[in-house]
Structures are given as structure tokens and as C-alpha cells.
Amino acid sequence: MKFLDQAKVYIRSGDGGAGCVSFRREKFIEFGGPDGGDGGRGGDVIVECVAGLNTLIDYRFQQHFKAKTGVHGMGKNRTGAKGADAVLKVPVGTQIIDEDEETLIADFTEVGQSMLLAKGGNGGFGNAYFKTSTNQAPRRANPGLEGEERWIWLRLKLIADAGLVGLPNAGKSTFLGAVSAAKPKIADYPFTTLEPNLGVVGVDGREFVMADIPGLIEGAHEGIGLGDRFLGHVERCRVLLHLVDGTSEHAGEAYKVVRAELEAYGAGLTDKPEIVALSKADSLSPELRKEQLARLKRAAKKTPVALSSASGEQVPETLRKLRSVIDEAKEIEAAEAMPKVKEEAWRP
């Protein structure tokens, strides 16, 4: 299945059904009177977050969603039926954004969440509604109200606990493949990863979700390479694992390039907890490893980890560090979510 994380769709709720002009005409009934029923309400447009989806590919081939018009009123005081709703099913992590691409309408983070995006028009009144003591045979009825229409953007941001960032060929996909059952594409050329990958990582009997995104290069925020739009998939991560290729010319400069792109993207990525690691450590001589670690430490202002996905060196220790940061972040989120009890002054 092709990965698609952004789509623009047109939605329109249904028009209300028209009211009916009708009179009761039966044998032996001299004064039947009006009996035109009201029109039914138009269908709504609803967005629902469901399980089993991980991409917006369904909206690649269909961009227009219209709810049905309400059924018109009928004689014998029969009210028209409500029009059928149009339901948009989206995966967890989807954001609904207005046409201006800035205004956030909704953010779906749990399965079962739903939202009414466009309400159907009300049905029109039939002539029975307008009957009064002075107007006992009204010959008018209201048309149904028109539905709402708008363009919206669907934007998917994967929900993961940890995110992998780094330059192309830094070993991100190799690391994800080594610590999880995910099978990302791995090759010895840049931009092997063209779409985000998710993997469930297990350490010490516990699990968390890790996201791997395409590599960043200098100028990605200006559209160079694959751009930086994929950084949206690590916005929700609680910790970042920054992998720096140990075989690069200067590990410190490589680190600074990626950090500059994270800062240019914004969204608080530079404020997230970060674990810095020098990858491909098994292919470095002891002297070069020491030199690269020193360069990386000066640039990151923290002690990096030297790991190797191929040999497994320092991989379990790195996973434990990630797990520790994730647990700490969850505890803080749980404490903030708890309702605060207002303390009252003691009275005798």
C-alpha cells in the first residue's frame, strides 16, 4: 500500500428536503384541510477515527464527499426521511486543517473519536405548519435549507514514542530493522527511505513504538532533497534518537546540519529530549572512533553513545535510555492530566 500523509478533500452536507403543499381530500369529508408534511433534514458530513488504517491513500482517488439530500415532505402529514450521512474514516494521528492550511479544526489521537464537520440543512415546513384560524387553507411551503460546503486538508502525523533523525545513510533504517520486526528498505545510497516506517521495539519485556523518517540534508526546509515535511511524523514523539554516521568526514558538522533543519522546521522539535549516537561504530578504528566521539560531544554538548546496529554494540543500552525518557514523559503527562483539587482554608 502506498503511503500518503496529506490530502485535500471537498465536503458538502446535504440540503434539506422541501415541504409539501397538500390537502386532505376524501369522500364524505367536507372540510379536509391542509396535510402537507415537512421535509427531512439533509445528511451530515462526519469524520471518524478508526483502527486498521495507517495512511490516507483512500483520499488519493476520491476527493469529493457529499451527503444526501433530505427526502421531501408528503401528503397525509408525512415528514421526509433524513438524508444519509457522509462518513470520512481516517487513521489515528490525523489532523483536520482548514483550507488556509493553518487553522487546526480537529486532531484525532484515539480510535473512536469523531467530529461533525458539516451539518445538513433543515427541512422546509409543509403547508400544515402554516395553518391558522384566519388562514385555514395555506398554499405555501418552505424549501429546505442548503447544506454547508468547504475544502479541508487531511494531514497524517504518525504517533510514535521515539523518533529517528539524521542525515541520509546515517543508519536509521538499519537500526529500526535491527531492534524491531519492521523491514524498511536498506541500501548503500542516499534517500533509501522515501516514506516513514514504524516499528514496535521491545526491551526488558516492555515495548514502545519507534518511527523512522527520510534523511535530512542541508537546506531541507527550503525544499532541497525530500524537504522537511516528514518531520511532522516525529512531532508527537517523546524523545528523539539522533544518529550520526561515524564514517562521515566530521561527525560534529553532520550533527549541526540536522539540528539546524530541526530548528528551521520549528514545532518544538529542538526542545524534545534527545539521545545522540554515533552509528556504524564497528567500522571505525579506535583512533577514528575516539576522534569522532570527541567532535560529536563538542557539537552536541552531551556525551554521545557509540553503537553498531550490525554487531549490536550498545544497542540494548540505547533502547533502555529511550525507554527511561519515554516513561518519565508519560508520568509527567499523567500528572498534568489529573484534575487539580482546590485546597480550601481550614476552618474550625
Contact 271, 196 (CB under 8 A): no
Task: Please give the tally of structural domains in the chain.
Answer: 2
What pairs with residue 88 in β-bridges?
47
Instruction: Say whether both 51 and 114 belong to one domain.
Output: yes
Residue 347 domain-assigned (yes or no) = no
Any domain includes 115: yes
Cβ atoms of residues 307 and 278 within 8 Å: yes
Q: Does residue 204 sit in the same domain as residue 291?
A: yes
Range of the structural domain that residue 39 is part of: 1-156
For residues 176 and 212, the answer to whether their CB atoms sit within 8 Å is yes
Is 343 a member of any domain? no
Same domain, 34 and 97: yes
Domain end point (choices 132, 156, 180): 156
Same domain, residue pair 229 and 296: yes
Q: What is the pTM of this model?
A: 0.75
User: Do residue 140 and residue 170 come from a single domain?
Assistant: no
For residue 262, which phi and psi values (nearest 5 degrees)? -65, -40
What CATH number does residue 131 fall under?
A: 2.70.210.12
Closest by CA position to 195, among listed 169, 213, 219: 213
Give, for all 348 residues of the chain, the pLDDT tens digit: 467 788 999 999 999 999 999 999 888 888 888 999 999 999 999 999 998 887 888 898 899 999 999 999 999 999 999 999 999 999 888 999 999 888 899 989 888 899 999 999 999 999 999 999 999 999 999 999 999 999 999 988 887 888 888 888 888 888 888 888 777 767 665 666 667 778 888 888 888 888 887 777 776 666 666 667 777 778 888 888 888 888 888 888 888 888 888 888 877 888 888 888 888 888 888 888 888 888 888 888 888 888 888 888 888 888 888 888 888 888 877 777 666 655 566 676
Cα angle at 238 between 236 and 242, to 5 degrees? 100
Query: Do 80 and 173 have their domain in common?
Result: no
Q: 36 lies in a domain?
A: yes
- Classify residue 342: in a domain, yes or no: no
Contact 130, 140 (CB under 8 A): yes
The answer to the question of residue 346 being in a domain is: no
* 144 and 25 together in one domain: yes
* Other C-beta atoms lying within 10 Å of the C-beta of residue 221: 18
Q: Can you point out the beta strands (E) in the chain?
A: 6-12, 45-49, 64-66, 86-90, 94-98, 104-107, 114-118, 149-156, 162-165, 197-203, 206-212, 239-245, 274-279, 305-306
Judgement on whether residues 21 and 91 belong to the same structural domain of the protein: yes
Each residue of 163-200: b (16+ CB within 10 Å) or e?
Answer: bbbbbbbbbbbbbbbbbbebebeeeeeeebbebbbbbe
CA angle 179, 167, 292 (to 5 degrees): 85
Same domain, 131 and 267: no
